[in-house]
Amino acid sequence: MKKTVLILYNKLSKTPKDDEADVIEQVNLVTVALQNLGYDIACLQIDLNLKAAISSIQRARPDIIFNLAETIGNKGEFTFLANSVLNFVRIPYTGSPLIPMFQCSNKYLAKKELNAIGVKTPRGFTLDECHKLRPDKKYIIKPIWEEGSLELDEDCVFTGSDTGFISRIMNKSRQHYFIEEFIEGREFNISILYGADGPEVLPLAEMTFHDYPEGKPRMMGYKSKWDDKSFEYSHTRRTFRLGKEDAQLKDQLVAICKKCWIELGLKGYVRIDFRVTNKSVPLVIDINLNPCLSESGGFMAASKKKGLTFEEVVARVLEDATR
């Protein structure tokens, strides 16, 4: 008898931007993969009516739930609510569990968790700690909850001596923004997938910034990912070509990824973003649980570089959900 997989995904807002709407592509890709793997498929949208979602899941009685819910109501604060529902119904589901999902979707809390397990991350500050900023250093103001680099671009970068900028950000909500030291250096987006022998770190992807004028921050922001008419989008490229001189750095990055997976209790599939200082010190800047599975996204690019098909990725994610 075929097993049934319920694909759970977030209901879109009335006018979704590309970073929200790409979940539909993921639903379509996962549906085809599951059919090819021999599963019966059902789909369910989730919104803030959690009671209705619980009832619908319980009526469907799936064997497994493939969780593609990114946010609910397009609000980062609600990212973990889908996991709360799935935790409640006690049906195996893909991706990381509720506790790490909550910890990692709150970027300021994630920094504290990283510090607790001995993983280096850029120093963070609340908006009430601006007096601690050094005038000779660069910083970036980040949203605490949002994903997909929403509200994150070069105009968020400032120096500790920019009193005008600091004065303006003091009007922002302390519950929604924090400050992080901006690391000048290289950027890596590294994908990890469940494997029979533990977490498998897929080929390491470095984001390279071509022909950026002097002084322009080199970073993966919203424009780099989503605005195909922007300079940042057309001048940012992914490469898997690390040189021999990067052998030690590669070992460090792989070790940190595995440490995060094991000690934070991650599952299924994850992407961890790094900045690497000019002295080759890797610092974790973000942990993305259940990252985008669209064909143009970083996770599938690394999977394809490894030689994995979409069906193989889906099968391994499902295996980790049911073990």
Per-residue pLDDT of the chain (323 residues; tens, 9 = 90+): 789 999 999 998 887 777 788 899 999 999 999 999 999 999 999 999 999 999 999 999 999 999 999 888 878 889 899 999 999 999 999 999 999 999 999 999 999 999 999 999 999 999 999 999 999 999 999 999 876 555 667 789 999 999 999 999 998 999 999 999 999 999 999 999 999 999 999 999 999 988 888 888 888 877 887 778 888 888 889 999 888 899 999 999 999 999 999 999 999 999 999 999 999 999 999 999 999 999 888 999 999 999 999 999 999 999 999 98
pLDDT in tens, 5-37: 999 999 988 877 777 888 999 999 999 999 999
What CATH class does 4-93 carry? Answer: alpha beta
| Residue-range domain boundaries for the chain | 4-93, 104-120+184-204+240-322, 124-181
Cβ atoms 78, 50 nearer than 8 A: no
CA distance 307 to 247: 22
Cβ atoms 287, 64 nearer than 8 A: no
Q: Which residues contact 67 (CB under 8 A, 6 or more apart)?
A: 8, 82, 83, 86, 93, 94, 95, 290
What CATH class does 104-120+184-204+240-322 carry? Answer: alpha beta
pLDDT in tens, 195-236: 999 999 999 999 998 888 888 888 887 788 777 888 888 888
Tell me the pTM: 0.93
Rg (CA), the chain: 20
Q: Which residues contact 102 (CB under 8 A, 6 or more apart)?
A: 80, 83, 109
Q: Which residues contact 239 (CB under 8 A, 6 or more apart)?
A: 205, 206, 208
